[in-house]
Each structure stands twice: as structure tokens, then as C-alpha cells.
Structure 1
Amino acid sequence: MSSLVELPSELIDAIATSLPSSDLLNLRLTCAELDAKSFHQFTEGYFRAKQFMYSRYALDALVEISKSRLGRYVRAVSLGPEFSQPDLTDRGHMGEARNRILEWLKEYENDNRQMERTGLDNLMLHEAFQNLPNCEGIEFRDYSLADYGTDSFGEASFNRNVGQDIVNLREPYPFRSLSRAFTLTLEAAQAARLWIKWVIVQVADTYELCRPALEFPRPPKELDTFTFSHLRVFKVSINNGYAQTAEDDSLRRYTDFLARTPQLRLLGLSFLSYYDTAEIFNRLVSASKNLTELEVISMYVSEDELLEPILRLAPTLRSLRISGVILHTGTWQSVYGRLRDDMRLTKIEIECVEDVNPISYLGTDKVARYSGQTEICYDGPDMKHFLNSLTNCIVSTDGNGGSLTGIDPRYFVV
């Protein structure tokens, strides 16, 4: 009877796939041969994509991983901002325990401030990306997003030293600036001449509202656009409070960057404020050539302001997602009709109004409109029929209300 060690690597890899992390660790500690045969599954499961807080502790870990044999297996790096102010009093932490926690936090924060003042974070990011030759994706996000797990470097350290119930990792700490992490990380990837295929920025609308806009790195040489010339996916949360200021035309930074991404196929734009979005949307879409997918989230625009940039993409655009978009002029029926007649979409996702009920305020002639949101999705060859059903079924008085009665239930996303 063959022993476990004698099994071929393919079977060991299949076994390792079904093991929980503790058992996989024990298997790899058994002997050098099992360590080697299970190494592929170990790297795929735990190092293909890694998450790091933007702190001295976490960036040290990033550098060490990059310098080890694990570095070449990392495909994606996620970076998030810092934690919020700790709340000790409300949780009953007093006396010696409180002093110990505060001392640890003070030392931790001093390390991070010193790291940024001296530019050590810049050096560490450059060193790390030089040793991540197969990294193809970079993500920037905050902890308000529920799927940012406790496996990120930095969060586990807080749980050990401070306590999970004390520091609120769902709120960003005001000292950290996402724009700094964004700029330095992209510069490091550019210096390493990595083949970056996707960049995603996801932040909550409560974060970065009073921060500088994102600063995109410029190529060291005008013709050296290697790193981002391969970019195929770019999703970004836009702080439109900074997008059109005369003294700091950050919108130009976006368009210049997009001009260096000839292979970009998916553009996702999520606005942190509903207002003043039309010009930004128009210019960013105009700067993106040959898009096949477009995502638009949170805008307050007219029907024409929404559709004109989209219709210019008619020759190539095949997938469209619209979410949280409010029309102040025009109607959704007209939007669907124009998409039906002028586009060649094969996939569409729309956040629609499921129901509208007029509610009169007591003693006044004012009417409030209650609406429930429903995600509708269609992916198939009969797009014109689907859009025609939307056009015929949604009846509205203000362009933002209506009824979905009569639409095939299979189009609803549950």
C-alpha cells in the first residue's frame, strides 16, 4: 500500500484543496516532500491575492513576502487605509489595561508617521514590487466594505495587541490619505515595469471627502507607458468635490492616465456625491477608447447627460451597468428605448424602481414618493426584446418611478 508521500503531486494537490488552513499547515510540516507537493495549493489559496493595511507593520510584511519564494506567486495586492480612533471608555477598559493599549497604539502610530515623513513607505513599496514579477492587479479599499477579511496583514495584529472590540476597522482613520498610497503604489509598479491588468479603487462615501484627489504617476519617459498600456480593468471611486477646481485640475489627471491605457476594456465610475457628475462622466468616457464594459454608479443627471457618452461607445460597448443614477430631466422609458435602438448590448444591469406609492403629507398638498429598488439583469442574445419590455412596462410621471409589472421574473436579480 502506497504511503501518502508516494502519491503523485496531482493527488496531493487535490487533497490539499479540501483541507482547512490548520490541517494544510500540519501536512506541509510533515516532511519536505509533502511541503513541495502541496506548495502549489498553498500559494494559490493564501498568496495569490494578499491584503495589507497601509502601515509600517503591514508593509514590512509585504516586503518580506516579496523577498521570499512566495513573491513570484502573488498576483494581486490590496491596500487599505488605517483604523479609526479607539474607543476604550465605552467598553469599560480602564486602569492598567487602558494604559497598555494606549501605549501600544501610540507607538504604532508614531512608527507610521515616521514612515511617511521619511518616505520609508515609498522605499518599501518600490522594493516589494521589484520582487513581485507576476503581480497583475492592485486594489485600494477601506474597511467599511464587509468582505475585507481578517486575513489582511495589520488587522490581525490589532486584534492581538488591542482587541477586536476596541478599534473600529470599519471607519477610516483621518491621518491616513488614500491618495498617498495610491500614487506611491502605482509609481512602484511602474518602476518595476509590471504588467498591470487591473486597478480598482473602492472606498465608502464617508472617506476621502476632504482629501486631495488621486494623483496618477507619469511615465519616467514620455514614450515609456509599458506598465499601464496593458491595463484592461479600471474601477475608481471619484471624489467629485475635487474634480473640476481651477487651481488643481485633477480631472486632467484621470484623462491623461486613461490616454495611456489603449487596452482598457472595463471602466467603472462610482461617484462619492450625486451632484456635479455630468462633465466628469462625459470627459472620462470620452478619454476611454474601445470599451466593451461600462459601470456607472451614483449620478444625478439628465437623460441626455447620461446617454450621450454611452452612445458614443456603441461600436464596441457590450455590457452596461447603471446603479443609483437619478434622472432630473427625461425618463427611464426613453433611456431604455434609446439603448434598444442605438446600442448593441448583450448584457445589462440596472437598478430600477420596483414600486412607487404617492403619500400625501397630512395637512399639505405635498406628495412623497416611496420607492423600492430592484436589480434587473439580462445577459443574452435577445437584448432588444428585453429593453422593449422595460420601455413598455415602466410607466412613470417623473422619470424615476414606475412599475415593473409584466417583466419576465427571470430578469430580476435575487
Structure 2
Amino acid sequence: MATPDILKLPPELVLRVSSLLTTTDLCAFRASCKQIEAGLFDSFAKEFFSKRQFMIEQVSLEVLVGIANHKTIAPYLKEVIICLDYLGPSHGFNGRQKIKGHVKRGALIATGQARDMLVDAFSNLPNLRTVGLRDYNAAGRLRDGENVLWRSYGWSTGMSVNARLNVLREGRHRRIETETPDEALPLILFALGQAECRPTNLEVFLRRQRLPDDAFNVFTAQMQPKIEPLLPVLKTLLLSLNDRPGFGAGPTPTNPHADSHEHLKQFLRRTPLLEHLRLNFLSDESDADDIISWLGEPNYPSAPTPTPGSTQFSHLTTLDLGMLNVQPQTLLHTVKQLRLTSLSLWKVSLRDNTSPNTGDRGVSTWKDFLQELGDNIPRPLDFTYFKIGFPSHVQGPNNGTLTDIRFAGNTTTDQNGVTKYEDLQSQVSYRKYFGSDVRTWLRDLKQGTYVEPVEPHSDSDHIDDDEDNSDNESGIEEILLEDDEDNDGE
């Protein structure tokens, strides 16, 4: 039998041909010949199995368990994402389970089946490094078209062919039905602990909801022995937080001194090797002075004035903060105490309680912040990356008049000595190169700081900004969730 012409091509050309195929055609191509299958398997497994997304539904978790127990594929799976979507009315279930031999999601969780299936899977994934939680489907599946998303396994279960095609056509513009995240996180952590699995990265990306403080209340007599051993090995922790009254433990009229981040602090205290921390809040009205200040506290409260790196997070080098307001001195103090080499501030409002909120005052607050930061970064430290996106100034702790701050790409002075700000930018960044210095960059940035007044804002203005932006467009994920859109799993 004559050898097919395609087998005479160099392996790299066969790979190039396969990269131009849709997923359906790629599967057919792989099935056409054992030699082609063998030549494509490694690239195929890396593309489709290094990072996978699942629902807490029996039909989806069965696939996760199957992958974990497949001796050839399991070593490729390095990142498991649990999405909060579920089989709901859009699939035709309307609360009744119609898959023979499968239980409803509620029963799956209540009986412990979901936990046991996760334990089974986590126990058999030798190279698992990252576990994630999210409430949206990510883009990046370019093999099948610009609008096709990476979805959870089993997402189309129970759908008619027409309904499935409609979802595919709507792509990123379709919202998925999701559960709340506060119960999913403890479930994932407990399963990891019971499986004695030790991933180094825990990533929570949420657009529609955030984790209340109660989600971190996992140090009970039953859960602590399983979960606590997980935390000392964590190096990356990315969180989406909700600190609004009514959503978690927080100040109330009967207890005005309650700590709104009590359980989160307990959680973070157990992560001594943390290198990368990201805190994304619900909106830029979130008061974060308490948790930001706490991050810069020394190891021992009775210690003398701490030097950089003497905090409880001595390994922390990357800090990302998003959607919050904070007093500038609080943020300055913490940044100076940590040994950071990378800092991202996204939709951060500097809050000033001392004077009326005018445009001049907003500019002054940010200029003073940039000046002090540039002057007071300890000399042993040197930032390799610094980013500020959509900064603002707000007067008072909540619902003050918001003043947007912009940075001029160029400033000129006219014949009357008036400074003109040109090429205004809402995002600026610094990346170290030979001969550069972040202190000089901060001082130059100060000179181009400019005010852009806006109307007083409501809750929905900013919450919707975060929810509705698609995966790689403007919004909180564009800056703080970089490199998150590849190979998520169908």
C-alpha cells in the first residue's frame, strides 16, 4: 500500500497543517492514520488538556475523573478550572434532572459526591499546579473562530442542536447561568486537602460576583486539618473580593468594630511563601484601608519600626490591586514595607477626607502620592513593572464625587506660562530596561497628572463596567488578569 503523501512531509509541516483545522476537522485528521495520530498527540494534548474547565455537575466531573485516571493524558493536565455555571433552564431542565443515571447538582453536593469526585481527580493529577474558580467563559479559542469560547465540559448537555448552535453564534455576548462562589471555594479547598494535592497557584476570577469574607471561613475543627497544609505552599493567590455590608462579616450598628476581612486575614496568615497576590474588589467604592494596611504589618506587632521585607509576607514581590478606594498614606506605607518588584493599580481611587473634593485637590492627591512613592521607594528595591489604570480621586469613604485622573503623554507651556496637557491617557505603565529607573518615571508621571471631572457615580455604573466587558476588552480583567485567556477547556 502506497504511503500517503502527507506522511512524506516533515513533522513540523504536518503540525502547521493541523493548526489550520477546526477542532472537528482536527479530530478527523488525527483519526485518519496511526502515524498522524502519534505525530500530533503531544501538541494536541498540550492544546486541549493542559488547562481544562469543568462544572460542578455529574456529567462534567465524570470527564475530569476520566482524564485524571487516563495514564497518558493525566500528566498533561496542569490547570483545573471550576466554573460556576450549571445545567439550568436554558438547557431544558427547569430544576428536573433528565440525564439517566445522574443526580441533580444539589444532591451531588449535599451527598458528598461532588467532593469525592474532585478528590478522586486531584489525587491522580501528578502535575497539577493551578486550580481556578470563575463565573464566565473565556475567549482565545481561535481555532474555531473569534467568538467561540472555551466552555466547561458538558455545557451543552440536554440542549437541542438548534439551541447549541444559537449559543455558539452568540459567543462571548451570552451570559451563563451561575451559582454563587462562596460555597464552591471551600468545596475545592477541602477536596484538594483530602486528596493531599499541593498546587502552588490558586486563582479566583469572578466578574459577576465576588467572594464574601465568609468564603474564607474554612478553619473549623473538621476542615482545618485538611485545608491548612495546602496554604504554606501557595505562591500565587488571585482573589475577587466582596466587602460590601450585608455580603460578609462587616461593621454593623450593633458591632461597629467588626473586622470585614477577619477570615481572609486568617487565610492569608497561613501563606508565608506567597509571591504574587491579587485583590480585586467589587467596585471602586470598596474601602480597603484595613486589608491594605494589614498587608504591611510586621511579623511581630511589638517589633520596632519594620524595615522593608520584615512583614509577614517576606516573599511577596508582585501585588495587584483593583476596584477599591484607599487613603494614599495607607497605600504608601504598605508599598514601602513590602519588597515588591511589580505593582498594578487598576481603578484605584485615592481618598482624601481633609478637604472638599475639587479637581485641583484630586490632582494634588495623586501628585503627592507619586512624588512620595518615587522619593521613598527603598534603595535596595527596584521595580521591574509598574502599572496604573483608570485612577481617580474620591472625597469621603463612600459615594463621594468621583474625579477621574489622567496622565498627559506630552505637556507644553504657552506664552502666558499656562501648562497644556496633550495626549491624555487613562493607562500608563513602566517596564524596566537597561538604564531606566522607576523613581524617575514616577516623578515624570507626576508632572503630567491631569484631572478629568465626571458626574457622581452610582453602583451600577462601575459594576456593569466590570461585568459586561468581554474577555480581552477594556475592563478589570484586561490589566489584572493578563495571560488568562488561553486554553481554558471546552
Q: What is the TM-score with the length of structure 2 in the denominator?
A: 0.65
Q: In 2 relative to 1, CA 389–234 (structure 1 residues): closer, same or farther, beyond 3 Å? A: same
Structure 2 matches for 1:371-386, cutoff 5 A?
374-380=426-432, 381-386=436-441
Q: Which amino acid aligns with 1:335?
A: F
Q: Which residue in 2 is equivalent to 1:267?
A: 277
Structure 1 residues not aligned, in runs of 5+: 88-100, 355-366, 399-412
Aligned pair partner of 1:53 in 52, 55, 79: 55
Residue matched to 1:35: 37
The CA distance in 2 between the partners of 1:84 and 1:63, in whole Å, is 19
2:348 aligns with 325
Cross-structure match for 2:383: 345
Give the one of 108, 120, 137 matched to 1:127: 120
Aligned with residue 307 of structure 1, among 321, 325, 332: 332
- Cα distance in 2 for residues equivalent to 1:169 and 1:55: 20
Give unpaired runs (5+ residues) of structure 2: 141-147, 298-311, 353-363, 393-400, 407-424, 454-478, 480-490
Write out per-residue CA displacement over residues 219-277 of structure 1, whole angstroms, 9 at most, x where no aligned residue: 5379x73x443322111011213254679977343333333333321100011142332
Task: Name whichever of 101-110 and 291-300 sits farther off.
Answer: 101-110
Does residue 97 of structure 2 align to residue 107 of structure 1?
A: yes
**Contact 2:390–2:427 (CA under 8 A) maintained in structure 1:** yes
Between the aligned partners of 1:160 and 1:311, the Cα distance in structure 2 is 57
- How has the CA–CA distance of structure 1 residues 84 and 251 changed in structure 2, closer, same or farther, with 3 Å as cutoff? farther
Please say which of residues 209-218 and 25-34 is displaced more in the overlay. 209-218
Correspondences of 1:275-286 after superposition (within 5 Å): 275-284=286-295, 286=297
Of the candidates 170, 173, 179, which is equivalent to residue 175 of structure 2?
Answer: 170
Would the aligned equivalents of 1:47 and 1:74 in 2 still touch at CA under 8 Å? yes
Distance 2:262 2:177 in 1: 27
Is the Cα–Cα contact under 8 Å of residues 336 and 388 in structure 1 kept in the other structure? yes
Secondary structure of 1:127's match? helix
Show CA shifts across 1:63-96 (max 9, x none). Answer: 1221123222101011111359647xxxxxxxxx
CA contact (8 A) 1:143 1:169 kept: no
| SS state at 1:177 partner | coil
User: What is the DSSP-based 3-state SS (H/G/I as helix, E as strand, rest coil) of the residue aligned with 2:290?
Assistant: helix
Matched-pair contact (CA < 8 Å) for 2:349–2:391: no
Query: Kindly, what percent of the aligned residue pairs are identical?
Result: 25
Question: Secondary structure, in 3 states, of the residue corresponding to 1:154?
Answer: coil
Q: Deviations over 1:371-397 (max 9, x none)?
A: 777111110132122111111222559
The verdict on how the C-alpha distance between 1:84 and 1:328 changes in structure 2, with shifts beyond 3 A counting, is farther
Structure 2 contact 344–387 (Cα < 8 Å) conserved: yes
Of stretches 151-160 and 319-328 in structure 1, the one that deviates more from structure 2 is 151-160
The answer on whether the counterparts of 2:139 and 2:150 sit within 8 Å (CA) in structure 1 is no
Shift, 1:46, TM fit: 0.3
Aligned to 1:92: none
Partner of 1:404: none
Deviation, 1:171, is 4.9
Residue in structure 2 matching 1:199, options 198, 202, 211: 202
Cα distance change, pair 120–169 in 1 and its aligned pair in 2 (3 A): farther
CA distance in 2, matches of 1:215, 1:158: 36
Identify if the C-alpha distance between structure 1 residues 145 and 325 changes in structure 2 by more than 3 Å, giving closer, same or farther. farther
Q: 1:37 to 1:84 in 2, by over 3 A?
A: closer
Equivalent AA in structure 2 for residue 334 of structure 1: D
Q: Is the 8 A contact 1:182 1:215 kept in 2?
A: no
Question: In structure 2, do the counterparts of structure 1 residues 395 and 111 end up closer, same or farther at CA, with 3 Å as the change threshold?
Answer: closer
| 1:265-292 Cα distance to aligned partner (Å, 9 max, x none) | 1100011142332112222454433211
Q: Distance in 2 between matches of 1:117 and 1:221?
A: 19
Alignment of 1:205-220 (within 5 A): 206-207=208-209, 212-216=214-218, 220=225
Aligned residues: 369
Match of 2:239 in 1: 236
Segment of structure 1 superposing worse, 275-284 or 73-82: 275-284
Deviations 1:114-169 (A, max 9, x none): 11121111111101111111110011111276669244213233654782558996
Cα distance in 1 for partners of 2:3, 2:112 equals: 56
1:187 equivalent in structure 2 = 190
Distance in structure 2 (CA, Å) of the matches to 1:368 and 1:255 = 29
Paired residue for 2:317?
292
- Seen in structure 2, the aligned counterparts of structure 1 residues 17 and 192 have a Cα distance that, compared at 3 Å, is farther
> Does the Cα contact within 8 Å between 2:213 and 2:262 map onto a contact in 1?
no
Q: Distance in 2 between matches of 1:145 and 1:151?
A: 7
Whole-angstrom distance in 1 between the partners of 2:203 and 2:7 = 42
Task: Give the 3-state SS of the residue equivalent to 1:107 in structure 2.
Answer: coil
Hey, what's the Cα distance between the residues in 2 that align with 1:120 and 1:331? 54
- Contact residue 137 and residue 196 of structure 1 kept, 8 A: yes
Residue number in structure 1 paired with 2:411: none
